[in-house]
Amino acid sequence: MRCKCGAAVDALGAHYFGTCPYRRADYTVRNTALVHLLVRALRRSAQWRDVSVEVAIATPDPGDEGLRLDVRAVNAASTAAKRMEESVARPLGDTLLWWVVDAPANQVAAAGREVRKNRKYSDNHPDETPTLSFSPVVWETFDRLGPATAKFLAWALGGPNRSSSLAAFLTDASVILRRFNARLVIDGLACSLSTRPIAGEKGPPRRADISG
C-alpha cells in the first residue's frame, strides 16, 4: 500500500511516525504536548524557577529564521540558565533500521539526535548572564530516552524524595507518545484510503496526565 504522499507504507506503519508530510501538524501537536508536560514538571520542582516556553532565538546568520528551543528555566541554586529542546527520533527509518536490528538494546536514533542537536545549538545561544547551557531532550517513537536525556532528567527532576515525581513524568510522556503513535497510524491509514479518521481528526488531547 502507498500513502497519500506517494511513499510506501510498511506493515508497522513506520512511515507515519516521522516522515509523512500529511502528518506534520500531528508531529507538532505531539511535540507541544511533550513540551508542556516538561514545563509543568519543572515548575513543580523546587530546583527550578522562571520556567517558560521559548519559541525561537535569533542566529548569527542574516536571514535565518531562528532556532526553536522549547523550554527555558533557571536553576534555583546556581542561577544558571538552561535551555531545552524536545524532539522525537524515529528508530524505524530506512537509514537506522539495520543499526537498530544489530543493537536493539541501544537507543541508536535518540543518541544520534542528541549529538546532532548539541552540535546544532551549541554555537547559537544569545549572550546572557548568568551562564547559559543547552540540553536536548530526545525521545524515541516508542518512548525510550536518549542516554544523555536520561541522565539529564534524572538530575533535573529526580534527586532525594523526587523519584516518584520523575517516574510520574516518564509515565505521562510514555502515554503521550503511545497515544500519538496510535493516532498517527489510524489517521495516516484513513488518509491513504481516503476515509475519515475512525475517532476524530485532531489527535489525542495535549494533556495526558494519568499520574495526578
- Considering only CA atoms, which of 41, 64, 61, 39 is closest in space to residue 52? 39
Domains of the chain: 34-172 (3.40.1350)
Please enumerate in sequence order all residues whose Cβ is within 8 A of that of 203, keeping only pairs 6 or more positions apart, or say none.
26, 29, 30, 180, 183, 184, 187
Q: What pLDDT shows up at residue 157?
A: 92
Local confidence pLDDT in tens for the 212 residues of the chain: 788 888 888 777 777 877 788 888 888 888 889 999 999 999 999 999 999 998 755 444 444 444 566 899 999 988 889 989 999 988 776 666 655 656 666 788 888 899 988 888 766 555 554 567 889 999 998 889 999 999 999 999 987 778 888 999 999 999 999 999 888 888 888 877 754 444 444 444 434 433 43
> CA torsion, points 189, 195, 199, 202, in degrees to nearest 10?
80
CB 96 within 8 A of CB 108: yes
CB 84 within 8 A of CB 67: no
pTM attached to this predicted model: 0.78
